[in-house]
Structure 1
């Protein structure tokens, strides 16, 4: 039935869009736990946007991280929740274009094509499992550690002054706190590898 076939993808799209809106509104209301779910929901789409512009795998990851960094900076100024996915996609695309322009400006042309380092299905499965385990381990940490590590993970070279302002933490305490949080994260990941939790 043509109508039923058309309705299913539309329903799935509507459900995802509604979920993004709900997560965004809860995040903006102060529920920082929703950030991980929003990232998990939209990052695959942003990855595809970056790759479609011609970026390799590593550069695509950088472009997506920059998009999330800008989102975190602008979250209180985004007034249309239904536009969040489009805003992130456009930001990713612009960052990809900027990176490509910079590469063209700074790389010498040697007449050789750079090999595409696309992940195989097996590599993608391993990467996805590793990411799932990583963020599950982050979720076992204190709220303070989770917030700090999220910023460190998704903001490209954040300054300690920015971290201090964003997290309400003294500049001198950021390094030691980050070290303690990473040590706790390593312990959680080790426990996971040893079968301590799933």
Structure 2
């Protein structure tokens, strides 16, 4: 009985859904699915409708009205939540931890290295001439000094970023 009803109503529902869905801003497939669900609910509670074709037309129009009401009340997001490009709290925490580890390693560097690296990382974007003047060293020795300091920093940070090996 139910199978025969579905087979009989399928072409009518497809036609009605195509005619009504686009006018309401919906998709015919979504509308068909909603009406099939209504039919299943109706069959469980009250049995098959006495006039299946008439019932189907009324159900399609009722679903279209419901869909329009929902569309008026719902407001879309400006962006999809999953597409948000801003870093989440966990990313901010990891970035802050890396920044603290870097700053701590810079403070442990020997000699003029902490001041030199801080000057290189300065948001002022200092030139080599300005850095050399600030540190009181010649501009020509700044490159080799920077290289030596970065080597020291690399050695300090290596144990913190190296992958741990399994010991057996």
Q: Which structure would you say has the larger RCO, counting Cα contacts within 8 Å and 6 or more residues apart? A: 1
Do both share a fold (TM > 0.5)?
A: no
- Name the TM-score, length of structure 1 as normaliser: 0.38
Structure with the greater alpha carbon radius of gyration: 2
Q: TM-score scaled by structure 2?
A: 0.44
